[in-house]
């Protein structure tokens, strides 16, 4: 890649764990629009899975992923093995800071250390000018941006909006774990997000009321258990008590054995009549 940079070509990068879907395709399309050369990585990173999580059954379908990459105009598909990324004797880790101490970080201790470690390694290998990440994993996006800033890495982070199915469910590789019945109930997360947004649009600024409206939707869904539901500052991820600025609703819930996350914006000072 250093030779491509020396030739003056812009390198765009989309790091993934495979099991690619239309959400990933949107990231790849954006990279293709911006770059002379597009690199996509597929690596199921063992360091971001706890022993009790789904590393062994995480979907792996390289042939299908390769086909999607070709359709999206990817120039280089990088699909290394674990020993290539973490060779024998590897003993270094990027430690996530305060931004990893709540929400997903609290639910999955050590997860973001593994994420930042592999992202830093992939940046070192690929040497991209920019990398595209989805807002679906909003806390992860914030942590990657913080790492780039704190470590003075010379890569631009490009954020892309959450991509949803026609019924509102945020696209995720783990949606494939849902049974037919669970899949029918899963859009409750996006409906909960819309309930909070509706309250905000009608002048509600009390965060307890916003989250209460969203929680009511989730708790009315059979078999769904709420993990967290919070409203935070989109830049600092500071917890808010009042909607005195534009903010982000972040939630996680379980349907059976499947853990789903979702998020979206709520805007301060935008009011409509009921």
In the chain the domains, ranked by start, together with CATH numbers, are 2-160 (3.40.50.620), 173-266 (3.30.1300.10)
Please give the pLDDT value at position 70.
Answer: 98
User: Is the separation of the CB atoms in 229 and 251 below 8 Å?
Assistant: yes
Q: Is 24 a catalytic residue?
A: yes
The residue length of the chain stands at 274
The encoded tokens of residue 24 equal: 């990933």
CA 270 to chain centre: 27
Q: Distance (Å, rounded) from C-alpha 217 to C-alpha 72? A: 37
Please give the pLDDT value at position 260.
Answer: 98
Give the angle subtended at the CA of 159 by the CAs of 188 and 95, to the nearest 5°: 95
Please give the pLDDT value at position 151.
Answer: 97
Contacts of 232 (CB under 8 A, 6+ apart): 103, 238, 239, 240, 247, 248, 250
Q: Distance (Å, rounded) from C-alpha 134 to C-alpha 262? A: 12
From the candidates 21, 24, 111, 129, which is the catalytic residue? Answer: 24
- 10-residue mean pLDDT profile of the chain (274 residues): values are 84 97 97 98 94 86 97 98 96 96 96 98 97 98 98 98 98 95 98 97 96 98 98 96 97 96 92 54
Contacts of 231 (CB under 8 A, 6+ apart): 196, 207, 210, 211, 239, 240, 243, 247, 248, 249, 250, 266
**Whole-structure pTM value:** 0.94
User: Is the separation of the CB atoms in 173 and 163 below 8 Å?
Assistant: no
């Amino acid at each position: 890649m250093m030779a491509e940079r020396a030739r003056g070509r812009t390198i765009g990068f989309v790091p993934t764990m495979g099991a690619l879907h239309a959400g990933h395709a949107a990231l790849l399309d954006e990279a293709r629009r911006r770059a002379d050369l597009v690199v996509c990585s597929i690596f199921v990173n063992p360091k971001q899975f706890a022993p009790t999580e789904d590393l062994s059954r995480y979907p792996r379908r390289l042939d299908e992923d390769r086909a999607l990459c070709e359709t999206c105009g990817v120039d280089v598909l990088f699909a290394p093995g674990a020993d290539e990324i973490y060779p024998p004797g590897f003993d270094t880790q990027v430690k996530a800071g305060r931004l990893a101490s709540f929400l997903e970080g609290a639910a999955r201790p050590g997860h973001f250390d593994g994420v930042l470690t592999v992202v830093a390694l992939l940046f070192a290998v690929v040497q991209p000018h920019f990398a595209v990440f989805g807002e679906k994993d909003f806390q992860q996006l914030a942590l990657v941006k913080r790492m780039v800033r704190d470590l003075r890495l010379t890569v631009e982070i490009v954020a892309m909006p959450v991509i949803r199915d026609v019924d509102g469910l945020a696209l995720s590789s783990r949606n494939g774990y849902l049974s037919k019945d669970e899949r029918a109930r899963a859009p409750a997360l996006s409906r909960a997000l819309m309930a909070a947004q509706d309250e905000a649009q009608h002048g509600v600024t009390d965060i307890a009321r916003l989250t209460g409206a969203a929680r009511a939707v989730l708790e009315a869904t059979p078999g769904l258990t709420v993990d967290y539901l919070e409203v935070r500052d989109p830049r600092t991820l500071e917890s808010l008590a009042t909607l005195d600025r534009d903010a982000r609703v972040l939630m996680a819930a379980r349907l059976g054995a499947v853990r789903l996350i979702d998020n979206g914006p709520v805007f301060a000072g935008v009011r409509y009549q009921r």
